[in-house]
Structure 1
Amino acid sequence: MGLSLWLVPNPTQLQLIQKVLPKQPKTRPVSAASYPDITPHITLASSGKATQDAFLRAIPSTLHPIPVEFQKLEVGDHYFRSVFISVKKTTELVALHEHIMAALDRDGASPSAPAFPHMSISYIADEDGAAERKNAADELRDITVVEGSETDLDGAETVVLRCGDSEEGYVCLARFEGTEVWIVRCEGPVQHWQVLHKITVTPDVTVT
């Protein structure tokens, strides 16, 4: 796959979301490649040609935290989009994505970002099939995902992640704040992927 550029939630939200990502089921056999530990993120761009320096050049010189709003829990037909949450195409998120894609394209990197924007919840191997992906989504709905619990002003569907208990009750997320941009080498099994560079996004940060 090469290199990817990820928008990652702030550390507190990242930890909350990671707690509820599906694990390998104990009640049924699945492939060893299914349900790896993953870092929740939005892929802004991927390229098999780009260098790390090209990705750094593609990032806007001034970055702001990017709000990411959840829309719908979906089941896909690709390993990396087995079960995912589609995300609202906000002005800020689309502008960042388009800036990066255009810069990489000018560099001849042939960038891609399938099904942008989305946040994957599970990677499930093809040999486990559509039935296992549906099982994972159904189990999320039973425990973690509350659908249609908010009314979107645009009339779009919304979901909330019920991420765990606090002293006041459940911690629920309908969105996250993208405060880190990671450059990740995505080659081989997921557990072998390498984070090459992290940029922490704070108000009016300038990338150097």
Structure 2
Amino acid sequence: MSSGGYALWLVPVEHESTELQAIMRFRPARRRHSDRPTRSYPKFHPHVTLATFDDLPANFHLNEIVPQSSDITAQYTHLERGETYLGAMKLMMTAPAALTQFRADILRQLQRMGMENKTRRFPHLSLFYVEEADERQRLHRGLQSRKFFTDDFTGNLTVKANPKASGPGIQQFTCGEVWLVNCMPRSVEQWSVIERHALSADPPQASQQSTSATKVQRAQRNQSHASCGCVIM
């Protein structure tokens, strides 16, 4: 995705988010002379970007554009290192028919409202935003050496924050919520959640989050988006 404007994020269910966030806290060993300012490694929630757009109509509501869907999953396939800040490190995944149709229905609703989607490559899950090319290489080597991602040689990937633990890790992305996110600020950690729409009963508090976030949305649209204090962690 590109910075600026607004985005629709597809967020995994809670236990998968927890596993991914543990990996996202990983940092390779510090380099010498690495005290220069950097935008690398901001905190953000693991997500798949469904769409990005420049403007947000005043009458926009997630529950009016998100189709009724449940139990949509996709299999992780491989870890990919990119050549840009926002594309630095991501998990690639399959695009099953249910997920593809889910997104197509949302894009159709956006188009009906005159909103142009700017996200083309889909689907993938963002893990790290890293500015420096050499740091992206170091991060990729570090992630591989820690064996967070195991390929079963059939095209499926197992993701595990603690490779030595007895648990199975996660093999798939399970759709949990759709988030409307304000990405106007240049700093990723100033991006903010405007509204949430639950797709699954996991997490159990999702319905409460959606209700309270909608109230926040009304207030935020009457303020400067860049000053929002709801940081995505």
TM-score by length of 2: 0.75
2:66 aligns with one of 47, 56, 59: 59
Matched, 1:137 2:140: yes
Aligned residue for 1:173?
170
Q: Does 1:5 align with 2:8?
A: yes
| RMSD over aligned Cα atoms | 2.4
Does 2:107 align with 1:107? no
Asked whether 1:37 is paired with 2:40, we answer no
Is 1:18–2:21 an aligned residue pair?
Answer: yes
What's the offset of the Cα at 1:171?
A: 4.3
Change in Cα spacing, 1:165 to 1:85, as seen in structure 2 (3 Å) is closer
The match for 1:186 is: 183
Identity between Structure 1 and Structure 2 (%)? 25
Matched residue, 1:123: 129
What's the secondary structure of 1:93's corresponding residue? helix
- With normalisation by structure 1, the TM-score equals 0.83
Flag the 1:163–1:26 CA change in 2: closer, same or farther, 3 A: closer
Q: What per-residue deviation string (whole Å, max 9, x for no partner) do you get for residues 104-135 of structure 1?
A: 1221111122321000111011xx12x22121
Change (3 A) 1:101 1:55: farther
Amino acid at match of 2:66: I
Deviation at 1:136, TM superposition (A): 1.1
AA of the residue aligned to 1:7: L
The change in CA–CA distance for 1:143 and 1:199 in structure 2 (over 3 A counts) is same
Question: Which stretches of structure 1, 4 residues or longer, exceed 6 Å deviation after superposition?
Answer: none
| Gap runs ≥5 in structure 2 | 202-209, 212-233
